[in-house]
Amino acid sequence: MGQKFLWTAINNAGQHENTGKYVGTIANKFNQAGRSVMSTLQRILYVEDDPDIQAVAKLALEMVGGFTMKVCSSGDEAVLEAATFAPDIILLDVMMPGMDGPATLLALRKQPALDHVPFVFMTAKVQSAEVAYYKSLGALDVIAKPFDPMELSQQIQNIWQQHNV
């Protein structure tokens, strides 16, 4: 689905059908011959209800990783705003009031612009059965909380590269 979307976009001379925001991303994803190359991770959507964790992760990913971050405090907010932000990857807290992480994922997947975006769960629930369940939903990986703020960027970069190689 992601490849189809990208080819459609690049065939339109690099203009995103709706927002025009994908031009830079597309340039990273395709070389001049039009062959797929490893894409660059730049835009991260983080869905997390806790303000302390939000603040730490945002700082860590912006300052150390140099990523462009958007933080949503609930699944509902993410469903409203994610497509406009056009994330390269989505980080999802599992346990949130209202829509939890898996429910948020299902809602995001219903949006065509988001149905191919890879995602990672972040949770304190990291028993092996739970991790297996989250991966069965399609998660690239599961990041345990508490995380090390100094290592978080590299951790996500590693997950991204494993996914793209």
Partner 1 sequence: MSEQDNTDLLSAELTKLRADFLQRLPAELTLLESLANHLQEDTAQRTKLDDLHHRLHRLAGIPGVFELPDLSTQARVLEQRVKAWLEDSPEKMTSLLQQALIADIAALQQMLTEALSKEI
Q: Which parts of this chain interact with partner 1 (CB under 8 A)?
A: 50, 52-53, 55-56, 59-60, 63-64, 66, 95, 97, 124, 145-150
30 vs 75, which CB is nearer to partner 1?
A: 75
Taking the complex as a whole, how short is the minimal distance between the CB of residue 66 and partner 1, in angstroms? 8
Q: What is the 3-state secondary structure (H, E, C) of the chain?
A: CHHHHHHHHHHCCCCCCCCCCCHHHHHHHECCCCCECCCCCCEEEEECCCHHHHHHHHHHHHHHCCCEEEEECCHHHHHHHHHHHCCCEEEEECCCCCCCHHHHHHHHHCCCCCCCCCEEEEECCCCHHHHHHHHHCCCCCEEECCCCHHHHHHHHHHHHHHHHC
36 vs 154, which CB is nearer to partner 1?
A: 154
Taking the complex as a whole, how short is the minimal distance between the CB of residue 52 and partner 1, in angstroms? 5
59 vs 80, which CB is nearer to partner 1?
A: 59
Taking the complex as a whole, how short is the minimal distance between the CB of residue 145 and partner 1, in angstroms? 4
15 vs 73, which CB is nearer to partner 1?
A: 73
Taking the complex as a whole, how short is the minimal distance between the CB of residue 57 and partner 1, in angstroms? 9
